[in-house]
């Protein structure tokens, strides 16, 4: 008989004797050999920090999630694409359960079956065994049998299961929380008993992409804020910060509206509001809003309606400008509807916002000489853009003459053309993408914006809210007999270059000389969210232009995404 508990011993036999063995640091005596063996205590491991829960003690109540494969991706910065980091063949089932002798509590049990069950179990165990805060799933117990288990505190539920039931504001709040927790959409779980949202296991993949807002690290993780009315109460108490209100408006617009691309109109570059019932134009706007840029900084709207930027990247290779109307229409629709006698009791989805979305690019001189000249130029360099509304309609590939360079912050004296070339400043802007968006929103959206304006202290019958957000003011067309076919450049622009449509009686003509439309108030605790909505849309817009050759001038570069760096050399 072999005694396996004699460590390091073999070929031992015992005859006509008695033998007593006791676990632990005990003395073991053999009556025949009078041999003493001291059993060494086993070294503790991380697994010993958690109780072992036998499978028979677990009563599963409901299966809430199941995947048959776990795939992890990683970003290859060299190839500019995602690659599979690990691919585990495992059936992972998440269940709500009770544990024997603790029927009053709920637990979340995760079981693993299949070829890679042990690997998948070990990977998830390592991820949660050292959780030190309440923002993650808390591990209660383990089981390392043939079907290994992880047991977590609480009857947790993936938020993805409730995504379709959330209102637009609840989705925006949840998606913002994802950014703050640095986790994926399928990793956000609800703890109903605690009333919190936490980061957990990656569940079944669902397309719950949404637009976030309020990029604040102080936003609470509470399930109550998933309800629109509670979220309203929380958000309206925050101080006035135009970026925050703009982001919230963009979330509402993108999630409740219907948006589609249509062929660009050939009669005007201006956005307008069309009544699809009568095919009549009720209001017109301007394309003064620049929502995105590369190589520039410090956007300021001047009193003459030009937009001023400060050159930021003096050694850069390009500037990229993104013109669009934004969602100026929603910010002032209440004023225009009231002026025209249009009631909130009507179906307002018949009113469509139609406006251009324009991506422009200009190239800097990229030689070392010109880069050095721009860097050693001690004076600030400003770019001034005038409105696109009062130039003839254009198309993709057009050259726009709407900008000037200045050393003067008031934009009175432009830098001469020859000196612009000397510094390598872009003297041309090329239209690389011109699309037209047609959008409409239900009546409930207009009511919500109206409610929000009042809650934030603005009079919805004035354009003050739009000006506060930095949006151009729409002008009312008093007669609905004006149809789209009649909306020509001659009608929209008089001999002085200004709009000839009827102006709103509420328009304040005493504008300040300078209005910094990007600066938050000093009392604001919020961080610059950078307009997530615009960024997400631009990712889709710009992605379509990757690897497209964009010959701009003698120093053209290949446009591999708007942030790609140039490596071409230029002989000065």
Say how far apart CA 252 and CA 487 lie, in whole Å: 29
Q: What is the pLDDT of residues 404-426, one digit of tens each?
A: 999 999 998 999 999 999 999 99
Average pLDDT over the chain, rounded to whole?
75
Say how far apart CA 61 and CA 240 lie, in whole Å: 48
What is the pLDDT, as a whole number, of residue 435?
83
The greatest distance separating any two alpha carbons of the chain, rounded to the nearest whole angstrom, comes to 123
Position with higher pLDDT, 50 vs 511: 50
Say how far apart CA 549 and CA 559 lie, in whole Å: 6
- In this predicted structure, the answer to whether residue 166 has a pLDDT above a threshold of 90 is no
Q: DSSP alpha helices (H): ranges in 44-152?
A: 117-128
What token pair was written down for 138?
Answer: 């808390």
Q: Where are the beta strands (DSSP E) in 236-343?
A: 258-262, 272-275, 280-284, 290-294, 296-302, 307-311, 318-324
Examine residue 241 and state whether it is found in any structural domain, yes or no. Answer: no
For residues 60 and 161, state if they share a domain. Answer: no
- In this predicted structure, the answer to whether residue 211 has a pLDDT above a threshold of 50 is yes
For residues 60 and 170, state if they share a domain. Answer: no
Cβ pair 271, 329 in contact under 8 A: yes
Cβ pair 309, 409 in contact under 8 A: no
Examine residue 243 and state whether it is found in any structural domain, yes or no. Answer: no
For residues 410 and 527, state if they share a domain. Answer: yes
Q: State the pairing for strand pair 280-284/307-311.
A: unpaired
What is the pLDDT, as a whole number, of residue 246?
84
Examine residue 324 and state whether it is found in any structural domain, yes or no. Answer: yes
> 557 has which bridge partners?
550
In whole angstroms, how far apart are CA 558 and each of 260, 328, 561, 565, 566?
A: 29, 34, 9, 10, 8
Examine residue 472 and state whether it is found in any structural domain, yes or no. Answer: yes
Say how far apart CA 332 and CA 466 lie, in whole Å: 6
What is the pLDDT, as a whole number, of residue 261?
87
For residues 32 and 6, state if they share a domain. Answer: yes
> 475 has which bridge partners?
284
- In this predicted structure, the answer to whether residue 295 has a pLDDT above a threshold of 70 is yes
- In this predicted structure, the answer to whether residue 507 has a pLDDT above a threshold of 60 is no
The domain containing residue 449 runs over which residues?
255-559
Say how far apart CA 238 and CA 252 lie, in whole Å: 18
Examine residue 534 and state whether it is found in any structural domain, yes or no. Answer: yes
Say how far apart CA 546 and CA 560 lie, in whole Å: 4
What token pair was written down for 567?
Answer: 């490596």
For residues 368 and 447, state if they share a domain. Answer: yes
> 505 has which bridge partners?
none
What is the pLDDT, as a whole number, of residue 181?
84
Q: What is the pLDDT of residues 44-94, one digit of tens each?
A: 888 999 999 999 999 999 998 888 867 666 666 776 666 666 678 888 899
Say how far apart CA 520 and CA 341 lie, in whole Å: 35
- In this predicted structure, the answer to whether residue 388 has a pLDDT above a threshold of 90 is no
**Secondary structure of 466-505 in the HEC alphabet?**
HHHHCCCCCEECCCCCCEHHHCCHHHHCCCCCCCCCCCCC
Cβ pair 449, 333 in contact under 8 A: yes
Examine residue 242 and state whether it is found in any structural domain, yes or no. Answer: no
Range with the poorest average pLDDT among 80-89, 152-161, 186-195, 493-502: 493-502
For residues 302 and 389, state if they share a domain. Answer: yes
Burial of 47 (0-12, 13-18, 19+ CB in 10 A): exposed
For residues 277 and 329, state if they share a domain. Answer: yes
- In this predicted structure, the answer to whether residue 517 has a pLDDT above a threshold of 80 is no
What is the pLDDT, as a whole number, of residue 333?
95
What token pair was written down for 108?
Answer: 């979340």
Say how far apart CA 184 and CA 196 lie, in whole Å: 17
For residues 17 and 56, state if they share a domain. Answer: no
The sign one gets for the Cα dihedral 329, 334, 335, 339 is: positive
- In this predicted structure, the answer to whether residue 95 has a pLDDT above a threshold of 90 is yes
Phi-psi region of 282 (alpha: psi -120 to 50; beta: other; left: phi over 0): alpha
Say how far apart CA 161 and CA 222 lie, in whole Å: 17
Say how far apart CA 159 and CA 175 lie, in whole Å: 11
Say how far apart CA 159 and CA 260 lie, in whole Å: 29
What is the pLDDT, as a whole number, of residue 66?
86
What is the pLDDT, as a whole number, of residue 233?
84
**Total domain count, the chain:** 4
| Band (214; pLDDT cuts 50, 70, 90) | low
For residues 60 and 207, state if they share a domain. Answer: no
- In this predicted structure, the answer to whether residue 109 has a pLDDT above a threshold of 90 is yes
Examine residue 247 and state whether it is found in any structural domain, yes or no. Answer: no
For residues 388 and 519, state if they share a domain. Answer: yes
At which of 96, 121, 153 does a domain end?
A: 153
Burial of 418 (0-12, 13-18, 19+ CB in 10 A): exposed
| Band (401; pLDDT cuts 50, 70, 90) | confident
For residues 165 and 126, state if they share a domain. Answer: no
Which of these, 429, 492, 487, 436, lies nearest to 286 by C-alpha position?
Answer: 492
Say how far apart CA 27 and CA 21 lie, in whole Å: 8
What is the pLDDT, as a whole number, of residue 42?
67
Position with higher pLDDT, 317 vs 442: 442
Does this model's pTM top 0.75? no
- In this predicted structure, the answer to whether residue 493 has a pLDDT above a threshold of 70 is no
- Per cent of the chain over pLDDT 70 is 69
Examine residue 127 and state whether it is found in any structural domain, yes or no. Answer: yes
Say how far apart CA 348 and CA 331 lie, in whole Å: 15
- Per cent of the chain over pLDDT 90 is 27
Cβ pair 156, 200 in contact under 8 A: yes
Say how far apart CA 150 and CA 143 lie, in whole Å: 7
Cβ pair 88, 69 in contact under 8 A: yes
Phi-psi region of 469 (alpha: psi -120 to 50; beta: other; left: phi over 0): alpha
What token pair was written down for 17?
Answer: 């004797």
What is the pLDDT, as a whole number, of residue 16?
54
The CATH number of whichever domain residue 148 belongs to comes to: 3.30.200.20
For residues 181 and 301, state if they share a domain. Answer: no
């Amino acid at each position: 008989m072999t005694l396996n508990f004699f460590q390091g011993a073999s070929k031992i036999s015992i005859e006509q004797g008695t033998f007593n063995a006791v676990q632990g640091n005990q003395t073991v005596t053999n009556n025949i050999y009078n041999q003493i063996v001291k059993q060494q205590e086993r070294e503790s491991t991380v697994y010993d920090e958690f109780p072992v829960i036998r499978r028979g003690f677990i009563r599963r109540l409901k299966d809430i999630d199941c995947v048959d494969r776990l795939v992890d991706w990683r970003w290859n910065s060299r190839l500019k694409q995602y690659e599979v980091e690990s691919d585990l063949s495992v059936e992972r089932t998440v269940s709500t359960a009770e544990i024997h002798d603790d029927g009053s509590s709920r637990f979340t049990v995760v079981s693993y079956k299949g070829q890679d069950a042990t690997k998948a179990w070990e990977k998830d165990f390592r991820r949660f065994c050292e959780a030190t805060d309440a923002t993650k799933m808390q591990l209660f117990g383990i089981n390392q049998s043939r079907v290994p288990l992880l047991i977590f505190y609480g009857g947790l539920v993936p938020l993805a299961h409730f995504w379709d039931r959330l209102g637009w504001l609840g989705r925006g709040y949840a998606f913002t929380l994802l950014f703050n927790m640095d986790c994926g959409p399928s990793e956000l779980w609800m703890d109903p008993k605690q009333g919190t949202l936490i980061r957990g296991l990656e569940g079944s993949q669902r397309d719950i992409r949404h637009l976030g807002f309020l990029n604040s690290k102080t936003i609470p993780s509470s399930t109550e804020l998933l309800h629109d009315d509670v979220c309203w109460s929380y958000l309206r108490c925050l101080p006035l910060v135009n970026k925050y209100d703009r982001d919230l408006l963009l979330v509402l617009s993108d999630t409740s509206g219907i948006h589609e691309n249509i062929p660009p109109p050939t009669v005007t570059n201006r956005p307008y509001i069309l009544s699809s019932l009568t095919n009549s134009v009720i209001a017109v706007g301007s394309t003064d809003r620049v929502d995105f840029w590369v190589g520039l900084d410090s956007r300021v709207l001047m009193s003459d309606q030009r937009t001023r930027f400060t050159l930021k990247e003096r050694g850069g290779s390009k500037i990229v400008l993104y013109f669009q109307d934004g969602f100026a229409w929603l910010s002032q629709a209440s004023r225009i509807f009231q002026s025209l006698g249009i009631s909130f009791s009507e179906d307002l989805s018949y009113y469509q916002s139609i406006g251009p979305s324009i991506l422009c690019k200009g190239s800097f001189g990229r030689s070392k000489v010109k880069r050095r000249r721009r860097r050693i130029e001690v004076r600030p360099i400003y770019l001034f853009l005038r409105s696109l509304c009062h130039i003839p309609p254009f198309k993709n590939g057009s050259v726009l003459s709407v900008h000037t360079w200045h050393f003067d912050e008031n934009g009175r004296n432009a830098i001469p053309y020859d000196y612009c070339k000397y510094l390598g400043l872009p003297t041309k802007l090329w239209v690389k993408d011109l699309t037209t968006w047609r959008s409409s929103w239900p009546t409930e959206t207009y009511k919500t914006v109206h409610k929000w304006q009042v809650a934030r202290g603005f009079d919805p019958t004035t354009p003050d809210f739009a000006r506060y957000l930095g949006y151009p003011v729409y002008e009312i067309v008093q007669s609905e007999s004006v149809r789209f076919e009649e909306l020509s450049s001659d009608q929209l622009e008089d001999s002085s270059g200004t709009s000839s449509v009827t102006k709103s009686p509420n328009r304040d003509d005493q504008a300040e000389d300078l209005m910094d439309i990007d600066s938050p108030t000093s009392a604001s605790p919020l961080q610059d969210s950078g307009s997530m909505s615009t960024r997400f849309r631009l990712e889709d817009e710009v992605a379509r232009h990757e690897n497209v050759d964009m010959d701009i001038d003698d120093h053209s570069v290949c446009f591999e995404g708007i942030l790609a760096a140039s490596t071409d050399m230029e002989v000065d």
